[in-house]
């Protein structure tokens, strides 16, 4: 693991904007090397006049820490910053990270419903985008937007329009929109901070073991329509919420992840409830939560999961973003999706290191087969998705026929069960022959040319013709009993 290093001296964002060039970060707060490198790259682009930048970094890579370090600079210079998110967990995470970076509580306010941390005079405001929509907008010289793949939604567009003179910095692990639209309307440039493979190599993320199930145990999606880039919710729920498929989920978990704290991503409330119930029927403590679960109950469920009192929590549209619980090391993907972004968000929940434990993804939805492994390198762009051929959209993975592990396309031997995935191809039989000279061109003369087979005579004839066109005077005594001009 590459060790964290002290935060490098900050040189500010852009002198022509008057943005902070402050230097120090409080003792004990440390950024990773790639985070300080990212700050330097961001400063360079802002110094070049770019005012809207999108930062891309995998879930668990520390996007909030980069933002907090920059915001701390702003406060030291007497400037104002706004950090916007759409979930309570993200807002609390950002608030506490800012305090970690040495900001006094009086300098950080929260704009979220009736949150008691409301401090209108604070130089930094951490705001819920939904609450801010109905409140007076605080002053800000820099606006950070978390989960910025949402930036084309109307509430975010209105927010951006309210700060025409500010620098806008978006943060996301997945710069995708399910509807295929790009984020170029919201940001001018994209900065990839670090790749997942780099984070895994340096010990900041763990490489997952990924297992799917035979095609017969995956849902039949042939009758499910696609709208706005993803499966129709009602049709999808009907396709996946079947007794046999739910039972297979539990059996698969018993084989590969028994006892590992687990999060399951379901397609509907009923589907999630059935998954949790099936686990309980098998003697596994399991609970369900969704967007309607009251906040105190939700917090209690996740606390029990963190302590290990609950082993499996099944959810729908609730834990894919803004939730960090490193002790949870298994993800059940029971919701098929056409959205690469949603798939990566779900898979990324379990990739933070914890007690040297590997992460396990049980893919009952075929997501890895469609979108590739979570740690695969990807090309990011602010442009919209382009139509591609079927061959171009095939993920660079293969499925082990013995244990259903999903591995890279070039894997020769399955790392899970040892099955040989790529057999050594037999070399063609060696043709015994002698060499003869044909005016500068050397060719092989067979001792007993076959009269039939894989077109040997035809290949040799074409070889001689090509050589003749190159200017050689060729003679070939015989080929299958005939002269060759």
Cβ contacts of 354 within 8 Å, gap of 6 or more: 326, 327, 329
Q: In the predicted model, is pLDDT for residue 409 greater than 60?
A: yes
* pLDDT score, position 468: 56
* pLDDT score, position 444: 44
Dihedrals phi, psi of 144, to nearest 5 degrees: -100, 135
* Mean pLDDT along residues 191-212: 96
* pLDDT score, position 6: 29
* pLDDT score, position 77: 86
Q: In the predicted model, is pLDDT for residue 122 greater than 70?
A: yes
Tokens of 230: 């993803």
Q: In the predicted model, is pLDDT for residue 62 greater than 60?
A: yes
Distance of alpha carbon 149 from alpha carbon 161, whole angstroms: 17
What CATH number belongs to 209-408? 3.40.50.300
Residue from 325, 291, 351, 350 nearest 93 by CA: 325
Q: In the predicted model, is pLDDT for residue 15 greater than 60?
A: no
Q: In the predicted model, is pLDDT for residue 279 greater than 90?
A: yes
Distance of alpha carbon 305 from alpha carbon 302, whole angstroms: 5
* Mean pLDDT along residues 273-302: 97
Mean pLDDT, all residues of the chain: 84
- The band of 479, judged by pLDDT with boundaries at 50, 70 and 90, is very low
Q: In the predicted model, is pLDDT for residue 209 greater than 70?
A: yes
CB distance 71 to 98 below 8 Å: yes
What does the pLDDT look like over 217-249, one tens digit per residue?
A: 999 999 999 988 899 999 999 999 999 999 999
* Mean pLDDT along residues 124-134: 95
Residue from 373, 363, 387, 357 nearest 217 by CA: 363
- Kindly report, as residue ranges, where domains of CATH 3.40.50.300 are found in the chain: 5-201, 209-408
366: phi > 0 → left, psi -120 to 50 → alpha, else beta; which?
left
* Mean pLDDT along residues 370-387: 85
* pLDDT score, position 422: 86
Torsion of CA 95, 101, 102, 106, to 10 degrees: -20
CB distance 169 to 142 below 8 Å: yes
Q: Please indicate whether residue 428 or residue 361 has the higher confidence score (pLDDT).
A: 361
* pLDDT score, position 391: 44
Q: In the predicted model, is pLDDT for residue 127 greater than 90?
A: yes
User: Angle of helix 88-100 relative to helix 63-76, nearest 10 degrees?
Assistant: 50
* Mean pLDDT along residues 449-471: 53
- The band of 439, judged by pLDDT with boundaries at 50, 70 and 90, is very low
Cβ contacts of 143 within 8 Å, gap of 6 or more: 81, 82, 84, 159, 160, 163, 166, 167, 168, 169
Q: In the predicted model, is pLDDT for residue 97 greater than 70?
A: yes
Q: In the predicted model, is pLDDT for residue 281 greater than 90?
A: yes
- The band of 465, judged by pLDDT with boundaries at 50, 70 and 90, is low
* Mean pLDDT along residues 422-426: 62
pLDDT cut 90: percent of the chain above it? 71
Dihedrals phi, psi of 52, to nearest 5 degrees: -135, 105
pLDDT cut 70: percent of the chain above it? 79
User: Strand 330-333 to strand 30-31: parallel, antiparallel, or no bridges (unpaired)?
Assistant: unpaired
Residue from 349, 348, 337, 352 nearest 374 by CA: 348
- The band of 101, judged by pLDDT with boundaries at 50, 70 and 90, is very high
* pLDDT score, position 386: 57
What does the pLDDT look like over 303-338, one tens digit per residue?
A: 999 999 999 999 999 999 889 899 999 999 999 999
DSSP letters for 396-465: SEEE-TTT-BEEETT-SB-TTT--BSSPPPPPPPPPPEEEEEETTEEEEEESS--SSSS-HHHHHHHHHH
Question: Check: CATH 3.40.50.300 for 5-201?
Answer: yes
Q: Please indicate whether residue 16 or residue 478 has the higher confidence score (pLDDT).
A: 478
Q: Please indicate whether residue 475 or residue 163 has the higher confidence score (pLDDT).
A: 163
CB distance 349 to 59 below 8 Å: yes
Q: In the predicted model, is pLDDT for residue 389 greater than 50?
A: no
* pLDDT score, position 290: 96
CB distance 117 to 91 below 8 Å: no
455: phi > 0 → left, psi -120 to 50 → alpha, else beta; which?
left
* pLDDT score, position 184: 92
* pLDDT score, position 114: 87
Cα angle 362, 320, 212 (rounded to 5 degrees) comes to: 15
Q: Please give the C-alpha separations between residue 266 and each of 24, 237, 343, in angstroms, as whole numbers.
A: 45, 9, 12
Residue whose entry in the numeric block shows the structure tokens 């009952």? 364
* Mean pLDDT along residues 437-458: 45
């Amino acid at each position: 693991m590459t060790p964290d290093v002290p935060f490098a001296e900050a040189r500010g964002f852009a002198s022509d904007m008057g943005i902070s060039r402050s230097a120090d970060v409080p003792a004990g707060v440390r950024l990773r090397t790639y985070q300080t490198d990212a700050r330097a790259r961001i400063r360079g682009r802002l110094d070049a006049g770019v005012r809207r930048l999108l930062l891309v970094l995998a879930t668990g890579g520390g996007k909030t820490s980069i933002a907090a370090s920059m915001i701390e600079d702003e406060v030291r210079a007497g400037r104002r910053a706004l950090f916007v998110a759409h979930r309570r967990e993200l807002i609390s995470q950002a608030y506490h990270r800012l305090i970690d970076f040495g900001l006094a509580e009086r300098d950080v306010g929260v704009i979220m419903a009736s949150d008691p941390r409301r401090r209108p005079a604070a130089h930094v405001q951490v705001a819920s985008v939904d609450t801010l929509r109905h409140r007076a907008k605080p002053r800000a010289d820099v606006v950070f937007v978390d989960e910025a793949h949402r930036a084309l939604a109307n509430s975010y567009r209105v927010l951006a329009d309210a700060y025409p003179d500010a620098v806008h910095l978006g943060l996301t692990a997945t710069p995708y929109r399910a509807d295929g639209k790009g984020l170029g309307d919201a940001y001018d440039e994209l900065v990839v901070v670090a790749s997942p493979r780099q984070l895994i190599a340096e010990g900041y993320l763990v490489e997952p073991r990924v297992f799917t199930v035979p095609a017969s145990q995956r849902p039949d999606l042939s009758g499910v329509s696609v709208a706005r880039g993803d499966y129709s919710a009602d049709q999808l729920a009907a396709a996946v919420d079947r007794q046999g498929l739910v039972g297979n989920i539990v059996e698969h978990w018993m084989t590969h992840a028994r006892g590992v704290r687990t999060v399951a991503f379901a397609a509907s409330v009923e589907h999630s409830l059935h998954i949790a119930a099936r686990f309980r029927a098998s003697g596994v403590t399991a609970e369900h939560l969704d967007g309607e679960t009251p906040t105190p109950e939700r917090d209690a469920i996740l606390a029990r999961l963190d302590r290990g009192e609950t082993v499996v929590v099944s959810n729908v549209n609730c834990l894919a973003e803004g939730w960090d619980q490193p002790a949870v090391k298994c993800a059940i993907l029971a919701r098929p999706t056409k959205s690469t972004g949603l798939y990566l968000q779900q898979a990324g929940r379990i990739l933070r290191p914890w007690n040297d434990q590997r992460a396990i993804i049980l893919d009952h939805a075929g997501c890895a087969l469609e979108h590739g492994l979570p740690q695969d390198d990807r090309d990011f762009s602010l442009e919209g998705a382009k139509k591609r051929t079927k061959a171009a959209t095939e993920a660079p993975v293969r499925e082990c026929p013995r244990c259903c592990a999903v591995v890279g396309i070039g894997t020769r031997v399955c790392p899970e069960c040892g099955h040989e995935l790529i057999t050594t191809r037999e070399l063609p039989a060696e043709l015994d022959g002698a060499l003869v000279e044909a005016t500068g061109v050397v060719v092989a003369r067979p001792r007993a040319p076959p009269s039939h087979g894989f077109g040997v005579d035809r290949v040799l004839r074409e070889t001689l013709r090509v050589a003749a066109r190159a200017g050689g005077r060729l003679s070939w005594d015989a080929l299958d009993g005939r002269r060759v001009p």
